Amino acid sequence: MQGQLPRSMKALIDEVKSSFAHDQKVQTMFENCFSNTYETTIRPQDDGTTFVITGDIPAMWLRDSAAQVRPYLLLAEHDEKMADLIEGVIKKQLSCIIHDPYANAFNEEANGNRYHDDKTEMTPLLWERKYEIDSLCYPIQLSYLFWKSTGRTSQFNEMFREAVAKIIETWKTEQNHEENSSYMFERDNCPTQDTLSHDGKGAPVGYTGMTWSGFRPSDDACQYGYLIPANMFAVVVLKQLKEIAEEVLHDKDLAKTAFELANEIDQGIQNFGKVEHPVYGTIYVYETDGLGNYNLMDDANVPSLLALPYLGYCNAEDPIYQNTRNFILSSENPYYYQGKVAKGIGSPHTPEQYIWHIALAIQGMTALTNEEKEEILELFKNTDANTNFMHEGFHVDEPEKYTRPWFSWANSMFSEFLLSQCHLFVKGSPLEK
């Protein structure tokens, strides 16, 4: 989409810049980051859909693409062309889900390009087939927020119904992964986090009511199959789907199915997804297997435990969330790093002592105090390595050491954080309240 920025985008950039008239650094960072997705990653297709590459990888992730365009919903409220572009993203995502609900990343065309020759059911359209619950959550969320922002309901067509049926079928199947699922994934000559154990089926799990995930939103394998923040996100979008079914589709059966599945998953979270911590009290675990094992940590990628109010699972004042937040923003979280320049949450996906701008954005948007929000803004300013762009991970002592020079999702998350600082929120998002 190289060329002139849309008038609506220029106007919003100017509005935000005026709110930070005293800070040239923030102005430049926002202008660069907010326009980055539009200028560099969006690929309109001849069929009216929109393909969105993640940045320095030529594939479209269902998760990343939804998060990349989410701040543009503010523009779509009044800009028909931007609304058409985002509706095109939704259409592309839905067609991908119909093609294969277990895949996380897709090619622009069926060219056979792939990240690796993995042992799983590949097709020429798939770039990678790591099954992640959130890959199916994000398109529902984007469709819902698009409706709330624009009033449009044209995205809720037969393709939407077909994709949603696939999503519900997949989540129900994966409630009994051991017995009912045919999904498996193995990769050779790779780190253990890039493949599933037990002949590609993953570590054993017991029935909980939750739905199983092979991989985290980092694309790393789950240690235990019930990924709590991803299941929480599923609960949120199933309730959004219930609202869509009632108010737009007038489909009582779909509303009932979505509501019942949301309750089954949520009951599993409440029964298996919490522990008593000796320091922090009742907290949510990151993963569990329903067999008594659990993983206490948080990862920078969204959905995360830190992001629960952002996703809409609970509000930021919720006592268990606050306990969990205190835990994951401490040295008790094995992926919380603190150095000379910065502190925050990183990921096993990147080297030790590297924290993520995405996690900083989430921390800022879910913070209860202006002091913490201002602290996060200063961290952003001091950790861009003088590029005026965000990165995936950066070193806590030397921010000029970073991974992925072009990562659109991080730029969009920084933009959304800064918009929230100006009290500009996407309609229908929990942060708007």
| Any domain includes 22 | no
- Domain interval for residue 172: 30-432
- Please report the pLDDT score of residue 305 as a whole number: 98
- Please report the pLDDT score of residue 2 as a whole number: 47
The tally of domains found in the chain comes to 1
CA 136 to chain centre: 10
| Any domain includes 21 | no
| Any domain includes 330 | yes
* CATH code of the domain containing 265: 1.50.10.10
Model confidence, pTM: 0.98
| Any domain includes 331 | yes
- Please report the pLDDT score of residue 3 as a whole number: 58
| Any domain includes 268 | yes
Dihedral pair phi/psi, residue 294, rounded to 5°:
-155, 165
| Any domain includes 125 | yes
pLDDT mean by block of 10 residues, the chain; 433 residues: 83 98 98 96 97 94 98 98 98 98 98 97 98 98 98 98 98 98 97 96 98 98 98 98 98 98 98 98 98 98 98 98 98 98 97 98 98 98 97 97 93 98 96 79
